[in-house]
Structure 1
């Protein structure tokens, strides 16, 4: 009997020891350190499939990355929650002191929880999550720690979703379409699809950091004038001239920064669409490049994504507020009416008013945030568009890239130059506001890498 008891206790000890050994801390840390980049990449692929408009995509990126950041904060004493800093964002649930967690798992679960709710097909996120969990188990993680971490991540994700549900997004779905004006300076739907205006009520969405949608408003555009020789006519003719010259470098720049999420093509009687990354997704890809280049840890990556995605989201709210205040005519409409009726832009005109340039606003907002984190002269290579068969572009700084993104809209024939210049100023103001108000580090430490 004693021999039996001894053997039983020995077997139990060996079993518990084996279970303990399954927790491979070093392997888990190495695996987890780059996971947030992978989850953001997967979210971008889902956004492309779901064909979300650029403003809506920015909202999803922001909430998902805020959730990931908040679920990770308890593991990093030098960092602090954004509750009380983001508008109406209440105190985040805290982990239970008596339980053991692996917070990188909680972070990815929080990200996943938000994605499944805010995207159209939850299974796309679930498939990625299941593959992630299988990899965790292969590396070795104790079941209790895994379950605790997943439960905590779910709780944080649900907290963020409850906050997101109060941002007026759902209410804005029921508002009326944009009413077209007959005045000659006003925006009109453009070829080839003549789509209605996208997100005319986006300024009703609760900002993340800005006091209101109109806080960072731009200076007004050039007054409309159809007379040859007028300033407005000259701005239009400059675009017309670029398109006629078809300089290879300018055409390439226009296509590199196109980032139109749903371009239509017509062959004969058949129309089909090609989906691409949104402008916000492009800048998060640039953020990923910097994160990888600097070999940031998971918390630093979460910090980068949360600041950039918040700046992008507020940038779209600010930009769209101005777009539907001015409802400026697009170059395509103006040039065809007053300069050349057979003219077409190099890239497809998106379906919303011209001023200010969305690319200029959000690119400058993102560049301001990234410059704050990585420095003024941070050189990098942007390989975002390799998937489209376009070569990489090298930049000496984030601002150089954002300035080119703005110019690309004029080269492509879809924006007048003031929309780019004044939009960039607007975006810098948004980015500066975000970096000044959001404090990720305790004791007023400045977030820099």
Structure 2
């Protein structure tokens, strides 16, 4: 009997030892799934597009810094991004699984930036249990190192002026000054993130480094450039409305292409629905989330490895983060009136845009800046003619759209703002220039790869 017990004990130790020797495997899909989880939480929590860009960028940088440790391919971003230094060094003999540590760091930094922490904890804890079961020692040492990096990233991101801007005064609206932005229907919300231009940049020298040309001077003169631009937005909206009426008469399920484009790129998390005396928000992606998902689509189509997934998410999120700082600095310094307000005051008081007007000034178009910057960055990774099918809006009831390149998608995202009736053409075209120049600057400024 004693011999049987002894042999049973030996077998248990043997199989336990074998279990611990199994390496924990972390894949590209695992990383993309973690990013998707954060996106879902952000949609639920209704973060503004600028704040969403902050939630994406810091976790990606934390993950990237871990895979860059002792890498023969990737350079650390220490000393390249403003204020980033002192990332804990990794002992090559420590037994740390860098992919695992990178994913842990991504989740733990994300947890610091969202509201619905329990939703992320539930997702994270299920993974922690799985990894612990696979290899407790490897999990423990990898987590220990990841948390050291997380602590350093937390200190760094705490100095980006975000907390300070939470206490700054609201944007002052002077309705007696023509041409200035005013809150728009149906919610008439205060301006969102009026001080975002004061957030610390990561790559740019300052928020105004890529300042666009000045908008047209405000005017109600029918011969002025400003009036002509407003009239174009008005006429475009009416043209689309007429097409929609014809479609309804024909009882067709096909909507006009301009309307489909406007809806696909709406990306307004502050869109609201009014039912009787109730008003509630519609759950939607932000521009950030849309382009982060496009990056995921490209990674999966190209069968990219784990390190490439982190690199792609990191540089894309840096571009998006810088885009919002650059764009918002211009929006609140020019403070241009939205088409809906101008048209209702000076052209047609009953006119409404197809899309709800977002709650911040008009110039330049945020989606134009973000999309153009993102397209330049993704093109530098995957090439000029990278075709793909964009399914980003399926969760929000919209069909897929196909694109021959990232630049084509960015151009469509930009013109969607005219079709939606929420921007003038100058804000779109100058926003494209702004984002394109910013994307090229980021590609040239940051050294991600080591010299061969």
Please give the TM-score of this superposition, normalised by the length of structure 2: 0.93
Matches within 5 A, 1:390-429: 390-429=398-437
In structure 2, the partner of 1:171 is 164
How far apart are 1:9 and its partner, in Å? Answer: 9.7
In structure 1, the partner of 2:316 is 308
Counterpart check, 1:160 vs 2:168: no
Give SS of 1:427's match. Answer: helix
In structure 1, the partner of 2:252 is none
Counterpart check, 1:221 vs 2:215: yes
Give SS of 1:381's match. Answer: strand
Counterpart check, 1:252 vs 2:250: no
- Within the candidate set 29, 41, 47, 2:42 is matched to 47
How far apart are 1:91 and its partner, in Å? Answer: 2.6
How far apart are 1:281 and its partner, in Å? Answer: 0.5
- Within the candidate set 121, 125, 145, 1:126 is matched to 121
- Structure 1 Cα separation of the partners of residues 119 and 442 of structure 2: 31
How far apart are 1:95 and its partner, in Å? Answer: 2.5
Give SS of 1:198's match. Answer: coil
How far apart are 1:319 and its partner, in Å? Answer: 0.2
Give SS of 2:273's match. Answer: strand
How far apart are 1:153 and its partner, in Å? Answer: 1.1
- Within the candidate set 85, 107, 114, 2:109 is matched to 114
How far apart are 1:99 and its partner, in Å? Answer: 2.3
- Structure 1 Cα separation of the partners of residues 15 and 181 of structure 2: 70
How far apart are 1:152 and its partner, in Å? Answer: 1.0
In structure 2, the partner of 1:102 is 97
Give SS of 1:34's match. Answer: helix
In structure 2, the partner of 1:199 is 193
Matches within 5 A, 1:338-377: 338-377=346-385
Please give the TM-score of this superposition, normalised by the length of structure 1: 0.93
Counterpart check, 1:231 vs 2:225: yes
Counterpart check, 1:385 vs 2:393: yes
Number of aligned residues = 436
Which ranges of structure 1 fall in alignment gaps of 5 or more residues?
A: none
- Structure 2 Cα separation of the partners of residues 270 and 107 of structure 1: 44
Q: Is the 8 A contact 2:46 2:269 kept in 1?
A: yes
In structure 1, the partner of 2:73 is 78
Alignment root-mean-square deviation, CA: 1.9
Q: Is the 8 A contact 2:269 2:281 kept in 1?
A: no
Q: Is the 8 A contact 1:197 1:351 kept in 2?
A: yes
- Structure 2 Cα separation of the partners of residues 147 and 297 of structure 1: 24
In structure 2, the partner of 1:267 is 275
Q: Is the 8 A contact 1:84 1:91 kept in 2?
A: no
- Structure 1 Cα separation of the partners of residues 173 and 308 of structure 2: 46
- Structure 1 Cα separation of the partners of residues 86 and 11 of structure 2: 42
Q: Is the 8 A contact 2:63 2:310 kept in 1?
A: yes
Counterpart check, 1:135 vs 2:130: yes
How far apart are 1:223 and its partner, in Å? Answer: 1.6
- Within the candidate set 318, 340, 362, 1:332 is matched to 340
- Within the candidate set 74, 88, 92, 2:87 is matched to 92
- Structure 1 Cα separation of the partners of residues 297 and 291 of structure 2: 10
- Structure 1 Cα separation of the partners of residues 310 and 144 of structure 2: 20
Counterpart check, 1:242 vs 2:229: no
How far apart are 1:180 and its partner, in Å? Answer: 1.4
How far apart are 1:295 and its partner, in Å? Answer: 0.6
